Copies of this chain bind each other. A is one copy, B any other.
Amino acid sequence: MSKQIVKPSILPGFMELLPSDQILFNWMMDTIRKNYEKFGFIPIDTPIIEKSEILLAKGGGDTEKQIYRFTKGETDMSLRFDLTVPLARYVAQHFSDLTFPFRRYHIGKVYRGERNQKGRFREFYQCDIDIIGNGNLNIINDAEIPSIIYQTFRDLGFSSFTIHINNRKVLNGFFEAVGVEDKAMVLRTIDKIDKMGLEAVKEELLNLTISNDSVDSILKFIQIKGNNDSVVESLKALNVDNETFREGLEELSKVVHYIRYFNVPEENFSIDLTIARGLDYYTGTVYETILNDYPSIGSVCSGGRYDNLAEYYTSQKLPGVGISIGLTRLFYQLREAAIIDTNKASTPSQVLVIPLENHLDYAIKTASSLRERDIPCEIYFDDVKIAKKFTYADKLSIPFVISIGENEINTNTVSIKDMSTGEQCQVKLEEAMDIISRK
């Protein structure tokens, strides 16, 4: 029976990992999830396919171009392109069943038909948290968010990173005060300062027909530097006569004040007046997180405060604050930059149990005892040469091999080998389990 063979491959722009990478990826996802849960965020899971009218209710921009949209039967449906729109729909739809403030996390795949280029993915995981208030939401929530970012990235193994914090009202109010009309345009321009540099930003601002004086004020403003308290002081000293500015500055100084209560070390957060987050969506606090040794990666965790989550689906006013980690892209970049070691374990197994001379009964009992103690393990069943069995453990980087032969059975012991040191001994199973647990 000869079959036509289809060459096995996946679509470009999709990430698929080999086991050792997958285990590391899952560890990162579990670490994020554990931190989100530690802060009392509630899991939700929404369909990947939604009605197109829901996902495109806001519409416009890249969304419409990039969305995977299709029909089945009469139904116009699309794949979600982020987790925020589904959250808005979820909260509006289940409003009366939810308790507010609603703290939710969502880890899931989203889809964007982006142009195919290195490091850009058409299917990727987002790991989001948001706190949604009913009508209003205390500003202290904005100060808690950086502590969640801090603990998560610390648990992911990073130490040198900075959470950049700004407030859109400070920016907006300041621009109003200096007479900028198209604030969104100026925000977008300023957002590019890291990529383009000061001079290019200046030129672009002048092209926007903003007066020389105003451009100078803007540039001076966004160059305010120093520690967090001195930045707040400098902003106060500007004496900007604008209500929005005053409100934003009040919020910003409260956020900085309370962040310290949450034990975020001073070196891990910093007011940065240049970050705006391109989206028009944010209305108050905004965050970006930079790995200090790898600034070129860009922000690894971003978000902010918004006035109204679900305006397209409900008349309820639902302010919120949230962040998102784009895990697929983060993993890709960490691997590319060789920041993470992807050559670790290729299996959850901590032990390979090898029955010599086919002493299956005792081998299976041993494995069962290990599993009772929550030690993941497997038994090598295939009848091959002993060396090949050890090779299997080696290839999968299984840390321990326990072998069972005539002698072990007669003495009610096991032989355990530490595969990294080569050390081997014959001990009672209890003792072997202690050796494994210690490692």
Q: In the complex the two chains form, is B51's CB within 8 Å of A10's CB?
A: yes
Contact B11 A23 (CB under 8 A): no
Contacts of A405 in B (CB 8 A): none
* A54, CB-defined interface residue at 8 Å: yes
Contacts of A378 in B (CB 8 A): 39-40, 103
What is the interface residue range for chain A against chain B? 35 or more
B77 and A47 form a contact (CB under 8 A): no
Q: How far is the CB of A288 from chain B (nearest CB, A)?
A: 23
Contact A376 B70 (CB under 8 A): no
Q: Is there a chain B Cβ closer than 8 Å to A258's Cβ?
A: yes
Among B49, B57, B98, B374, point to the contact of A38 (Cβ < 8 A). B374
Output the residue of A25, A41, A375 with the most chain B CB within 10 A: A41
Residues in A1-33 with C-beta less than 8 Å from chain B:
3-11, 14-19, 22-23, 25-26
Provided the pairs A37-B376, A72-B68 are in contact, do residues A51 and B382 lie with their beta carbons within 8 angstroms?
A: no
A131 to chain B, nearest CB (A): 9
Task: List B contacts of A365 (CB < 8 A).
Answer: 261
Q: Are B348 and A3 in contact (CB under 8 A)?
A: no
Minimum CB–CB distance for A284 against chain B, Å: 15
Cross-chain contact A37 with B138 (CB below 8 angstroms): no
Whether the pair A49, B111 counts as a contact (CB closer than 8 A) is: yes
Would you call B16 and A54 a contact (CB within 8 A)? no
Interface membership of chain A positions 344-358, coded 1 if the CB is closer than 8 angstroms to chain B and 0 otherwise: 001111000000000
Whether A313 is near chain B, meaning CB under 8 Å from some CB there, is yes
